[in-house]
Structure 1
Amino acid sequence: MTVDSKLIEMSRRYGSDPDMVLAGGGNTSYKTKEYLTVKASGYPLSTIDDSGFVMLDRGRLKLMWHKTYADEENERETQVLTDLMASRRFGEVNRPSVESQLHDLFPYQYVLHVHPAKVNGLTCSIEGENWTNSRLAQQAVWVEATKPGYILAMTCQKISQEHQKTTGQFPKIMILENHGIFFSADTVDEIDQLVALVFDTIQEDLHTAPDFTKEPFDEPLVNQAHQILDKVFPENAIFFDRFHSLVELVADERSVQPIMKPFTPDHIVYCRHEPLFCTSQTLQATLEAYREKNAVLPRIILIQHLGMFSAAETAASAKVARDLFLDQIKIAYYARSFGGIKPMKSEHIEFIRNWEVEHYRAKMESKS
């Protein structure tokens, strides 16, 4: 399969920009009348080539919009995945992005889907919807938080059709609460213009940002924490951070609350569903209690007055967890410009924690 060169160029350009994409987040696509070429699950956009895409039969995808699936979540998601896999063109072996239906929904040729912190400062805020309807009403639609996959696709279809009836045009921008943003157009140049429009408009109203200025730390306390973490994590897979805004956040139980719940599915996949917050004195006991409660160790350990440890089974996984939690902190500060934070709902957190699709994505990306 030879993939459209402009699709690959767009994918790599946005995928290589850490302000746009972190880890394996985001996806892209290009469509013709018959086929949708979409990023396969588990492939990073930054280095993607022909082998990282999968071609789907749009006729088969269309049938999925009119099919009735089971009400029970696990059964429904299994049925949807089966149909999605069956939509692959003969000979294709990659697993399509779970958001392939959403890509196919847009009537425009190119689609870019990303999860930038500045956009998610909006999507994870109390006033995000009102701001979108006020500042981008003609170009964009707001999609209230819902479970990803099939349910999200059906929700977006309904909202887009309503927008089209009102404005006469299918939306080119979808802003998804606690998730990210979709851009779609018939050319990559127009997608670039839409991205610039959204970021410039957000920037006009963005008045809060984290301060990443490094601060001195108590070396004996950091070494003490390291010794405890070294017993359960590889030595090279533990990272420590201490900077101005982080010190503010880990001052006490109240100040740390804005970053204790995930904002988007990516934060759950890479950082777990919650960090561990403790004191230097209680680290050992709370680490064991976390494992007892969750059957896994935390990826992010916040120590009161000290700072943040990122840890995992490998150095690569620990680094990704660190990057995503720094993203979480950015969102918490950006959201202050839009009425304050709005983390994911508990039911959506639990859905992601148990969703086979995200387990598969995490497994594929850990291999790469």
Structure 2
Amino acid sequence: MTSPEFHALRTLSAKVGSDPSLVQAAGGNTSIKADGVMWIKASGTWLRDAAAKDIFVPLDLARLTAALAADDPACESCTDFVRQDINPLGLRPSIETSVHGLMPQKAVVHVHCVNTIAHAIRSDAEQVLGEKLKAFNWAFVPYARPGLMLSRAIRKAYRPGVDVLVLGNHGLAVAAETVAEAEALLHRVVAALAGPVRDFGKPDLEALAKAAAGSDYRLPEDPACHALALDDDVRKAVSNNVYYPDHVVFLGTAIPASLASGAAAVALPGLGVLVNRNAKPSVEPMLRCAGDVFARLPAHAPLKALTATEIDQLLNWDAEKYRQTMKQV
């Protein structure tokens, strides 16, 4: 596809994908509907690559729309609706394709915005969001695993005219008739959800380097990764629970404090974070995301962690297992 709107979507995708406050690693996705086809970011690809690589998958829009309306089990992965005749790279659609298919507007942008997540993981999320999003035609969708479960939750919450969805324990989706309008709406919502950012102090790099010496761990390249270890309440919160899907997928169910754990990352109390030398590329962006989210939460805010059942649904989901096989993830 070579239309000006598709070019605009690729440009916006690369811009959004390069902003860690909006998208981390392979998270987030964008789409555009035109001429009976919905083009959406492929599973396991990075939005930041959108301007330089072919990362979009074409789906038959009519078939996808009908299947979503019928609660068709094929909407679990949406692979049945891919237009393979114009998908030469054999890409698979994003695991969040249903979000885009259920929003009727032409352009949809779904991000894991830290301003949004800081609200969406609260147990009083809908109430707090309602105070900040009064100027928007929005809806709150309680947490559901992406795929068919999320499709059902969105259909239940959606009202005609809604162009902003806050997905509980997940993120934000905005939609408009043009890419430019979707970008403008995105920035307005993100600004509306902005608030004070707490400073957790500085890491002890000397002590971290000493701890890492001779081990399988190293200092992170992004110094913002350290934040989650510098406040003890935050460290305990992210060590003992998970609050949104990509955290459990890329960081596991706990961030331990011991290098003997062999985990992808460890949070040393009051010192900072160390990253396993064999960790996947997504680990550092997700560590930063955790710190960024909690820095935007008031101390002692009421939180809603994912349950053991919800975690199990993510880790044993075929679509998520496929995404994990992608080398760049």
Normalised by the length of structure 1, the TM-score is 0.78
The counterpart of 2:242, out of the listed 238, 248, 262, is 262
User: What displacement does 1:322 show?
Assistant: 2.5
Task: State percent identity of aligned pairs.
Answer: 23
Q: Which 5+ residue runs of structure 1 have no aligned equivalent?
A: 70-75, 165-169, 288-296
Distance in 2, Cα, partners of 1:130 & 1:223: 46
User: Counterparts of 2:198 and 2:236 in 1: how far apart (Å)?
Assistant: 17
The answer to whether the aligner puts 1:276 opposite 2:276 as a matched pair is no
1:31-46 superposed matches below 5 A: 31-32=33-34, 34-46=36-48
Shift of 1:149: 1.0
Matched, 1:301 2:292: no
Change (3 A) 1:312 1:267: farther
RMSD: 2.7
**Structure showing the higher helix proportion among its residues:** 1
1:15–1:46 CA contact under 8 A, matched in 2: yes
The structural deviation recorded for 1:67 is 4.0
Distance 1:175 1:320 in 2: 23
1:277 aligned counterpart, secondary structure: coil
Change (3 A) 1:337 1:214: closer
Aligned residue for 1:292?
none
Matched, 1:126 2:116: no
Alignment equivalent of 1:359, drawn from 298, 321, 325: 321
Letter in 1 for 2:251: C
How does 1:185-224 map onto structure 2 within 5 Å?
185-203=176-194, 206-211=195-200, 213-216=201-204, 219=207, 222-224=209-211
- Match of 2:298, SS state, is helix
Which residue is equivalent to 1:177?
168
Residue 99 (str. 1) matches residue 86 (str. 2): no
- Shift in CA distance, 55/67, structure 1 to aligned 2, threshold 3 Å: same
Task: Select the residue among 258, 273, 294 that pairs with 1:332.
Answer: 294
Matched to 1:153, the amino acid is S
- Is residue 210–residue 330 contact of structure 1 (8 Å, CA) maintained in 2? no
User: 1:132 touches 1:140 (CA, 8 Å); kept in 2?
Assistant: no
**Aligned-partner Cα distance in 2 for 1:244–1:159:** 35
Q: What code does the residue aligned with 1:197 have?
A: R
C-alpha contact 1:11 1:45 (8 A) present in aligned 2: yes
Contact 2:28–2:110 under 8 Å retained in 1: yes
- Residue matched to 1:24: 26
C-alpha separation in 1, matches of 2:283 and 2:23: 14
Alpha-carbon contact 2:238-2:290 (below 8 Å) kept: yes
Q: How many positions carry a matched residue from both structures?
A: 319
- Name the TM-score, length of structure 2 as normaliser: 0.86
Structure 1 residues 345 and 218: CA distance shift in structure 2, 3 A: same
Residue 102 (structure 1) shift: 1.9
Q: Output the CA distance in 1 between the equivalents of 2:234 and 2:128.
A: 26
1:87 aligned partner, one-letter code: F
Write the letter of the residue equivalent to 1:62: T
- Determine which structure has more spread, i.e. the larger CA radius of gyration: 1
Task: Kindly provide the amino acid, as one letter, of the partner of residue 121 in structure 1.
Answer: A
The 4+ residue runs of structure 1 with deviation greater than 6 A are: none
1:9 aligns with 2:11: yes
Name the CA distance, whole Å, in 2 between partners of 1:337 and 1:122: 13
**Structure-2 residue corresponding to 1:167:** none
Query: Which of 147, 160, 163 is 2:145 aligned to?
Result: 147
The 3 A distance-change label for structure 1 pair 81 and 131 is: closer
Q: CA deviation at 1:123?
A: 0.9
Instruction: Tell me if structure 2 keeps the 8 A contact 1:43–1:52.
Output: yes
CA pair 263-210 structure 1, distance change in 2 beyond 3 A: farther
1:51 counterpart SS class: coil
* Aligned equivalent of 1:112: 109
CA distance in 2, matches of 1:186, 1:320: 32
Listed as ranges, the gaps of 5+ residues in structure 2 are none
